[in-house]
């Protein structure tokens, strides 16, 4: 499972001209699911994303997590994160999950966050989405669990 987080002042995701998820200050997580991912990766990535210290404390140091600052989370599926790009000029997706498995793991991630940490907003798996964001920093981190 691969996650790319961006610290944002606000973010939203639109499908067919309708906003399906939006947040104020917090994290936007782009989530890529690989074919071997399971609930183990769901739990690891959720804990990592929500505990990762990317928000500034009173001294201006990145010492506070999303949980610490009471920020919001928007989760958007993005299968291109699992692409192999080391050879040629066309990405390969052999490590990517099937659409059925990818959707199940994506939904499991959202459910796990909602059940154990906080309510999060989300996009729609497999939809053609337009993501709008106001990056804060910019601050962007990549995880593979």
Q: What angle do CA 32, 48, 112 make, to 5 degrees?
A: 70
Cα 123 from Cα 107, distance rounded (Å)? 11
Catalytic residues: 80
Radius of gyration of the chain (CA): 15
Q: Which residue from 66, 41, 70, 42 is spatially nearest to 52, judged by alpha carbons?
A: 66
Q: Which residue from 113, 131, 110 is spatially nearest to 122, judged by alpha carbons?
A: 110
């Amino acid at each position: 499972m691969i996650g790319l987080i961006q610290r944002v002042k606000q973010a939203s995701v639109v499908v067919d001209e309708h906003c399906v998820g939006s947040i104020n200050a917090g994290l936007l997580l782009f989530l890529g699911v690989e074919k071997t991912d399971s609930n183990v990766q769901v739990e690891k990535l959720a804990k990592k994303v929500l505990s990762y210290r990317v928000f500034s404390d009173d001294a201006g140091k990145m010492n506070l997590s999303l949980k610490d600052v009471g920020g919001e989370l928007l989760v958007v599926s993005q299968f291109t994160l699992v692409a192999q790009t080391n050879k040629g000029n066309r990405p390969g997706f052999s490590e990517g999950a099937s659409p059925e498995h990818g959707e199940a793991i994506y939904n499991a991630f959202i459910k796990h966050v909602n059940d154990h940490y906080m309510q999060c907003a989300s996009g729609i798996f497999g939809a053609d989405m337009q993501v709008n964001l106001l990056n804060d920093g910019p601050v962007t981190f990549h995880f593979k669990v």
